[in-house]
Amino acid sequence: MTTPAAVRRRALLERLPLPGTPLLLDGAMGTELLRRGVPTPLPLWSAPANLEQPGVVESIHTDYVAAGCELITTNTFRTSRYALERSDHLESWATWNRQAVGLARRAALVALADVIRAHLPNTVRVLGKENARKAGKERSLSRASAV
């Protein structure tokens, strides 16, 4: 019997490039936050930006995708239970992490919407109308929240 984890692993491996082909990961979130004027104080460093400056975090993700990255990492370097407990934020562990994942996902959906529009006009059939609709809706929401 195939486990759900095995199915997810196989799906991920099918999306990765051929063996020996490089895969481009995004860059440093903390450095970019500092460069854009967002404070990153210890002990949580870049984590508060997810809640206090979500537009900046999302724009960093989006900029990395525009520069050609193929994998987006979440801004969760200091959102572990251990780090949040030490800074008296343990009760909001789920909120901090959901926000970080949500920002990365929205940036990925914005990038997907751009790919659908600019490079693959027939992708709607491949991805399915629902995924294309979600990508377009997320892009609209992202732009509206940035205003």
- 110-138 b/e (C-beta count within 10 Å ≥ 16 → b): bbbbeebeeeeeebeeebeeeebeebbeb
- Read off the pLDDT of residues 98-146 as tens digits, 9 standing for 90 and up: 999 999 999 988 877 665 454 444 434 444 444 445 545 544 444 444 4
Give CA–CA dist 70/23, Å, rounded: 7
Q: Where are the domains of the chain?
A: 25-146
Distance separating alpha carbons of residues 118 and 53, to the nearest angstrom: 29
Q: To the nearest whole number, what is the mean pLDDT of the chain?
A: 79
Is the whole-model pTM more than 0.75? no
CATH T-level fold of 25-146:
TIM Barrel (3.20.20)
User: 3-class DSSP state for residue 22?
Assistant: coil
> What would the DSSP string read from start to end of 33-90?
HHHTT----TTTTTTTHHHH-HHHHHHHHHHHHHTT-SB---S-TT-SHHHHHHTT-G
Question: What share of the chain in percent tops pLDDT 90?
Answer: 49
